[in-house]
Amino acid sequence: MTNRDMSTEVTLAVGKSRRLKTAMTLMAALVTATAISPLAQADWSIAEGSLVGFVSIKKNSIAENNHFSGVTGSLSDDGAIVASVDLSTVETKVPIRNQRMMQLLFEVANYPEAQVSGQLDPVDIAQLAAGATVERAVPLTLSLHGSTATVSATLLAVKVAEGVRVTTVEPIILNARDFGLEPGIAALQEVAGLDAISRAVPVTLDLLLTSD
């Protein structure tokens, strides 16, 4: 075999190896895309165990953690997020306080739920599918007690084994005045014999979304 023949065979072998490597790379990419496509293409639901928390501050110095456990909703493949909060699931760790909040503050007989909606960028959904962590400032529309307002929330979304966990990076500060809740707070203050209850309320989100 001449040197030219040997050179030709080596060139052919190298070319074949490169084509095989390219084919394997494309196959790996296809397998990866197939593995992550459910997050990018499926609707997701807010799972049991998700919470909306809030802090009540009384006497200008005593802060107490509370939460709602009845949170339902969905995240669509185009990034639209919709959530409902069952206000009758308020938990303050004091049963009589739960009842007073439901009746005097939230008036659940007339306003049983709060509604939250927002829009995420579909590009962020694709990044989550690839395992990235996404942090974004997102405007949310909140309907509560017959009033609607837009609030800004900085959200952190992380892909976990169960699905996607979405949490607030910092509390969302809501003002009772924006939702017609000042009379209810005044009623709570009177019935509990308190000097003051803050009208500004820090709210946090801890949501787990799972695939439908």
Q: Tens of pLDDT along 132-166?
A: 899 999 999 999 999 999 999 999 999 888 888 99
State pTM to two decimals.
0.78
More confident call, 75 vs 103: 103
For residue 205, pLDDT beyond 90:
yes
Side-chain half-sphere of 71: how many Cα atoms within 13 Å?
26
- Which CATH number is 42-211 given? 2.40.128.110
Amino acid 43: pLDDT:
79
Across the range 126-131, mean pLDDT stands at: 78
Per-domain boundaries in the chain: 1-41, 42-211
Q: Which helix (H) or strand (E) holds 18?
A: helix 3-41
For residue 23, pLDDT beyond 50:
no
User: How buried is 187 (Cβ within 10 angstroms: 0-12 exposed, 13-18 middle, 19+ buried)?
Assistant: middle
pLDDT in tens, 97-117: 999 999 999 999 999 999 999
For residue 9, pLDDT beyond 80:
no
Amino acid 30: pLDDT:
34
Percent of the chain with pLDDT over 70: 80
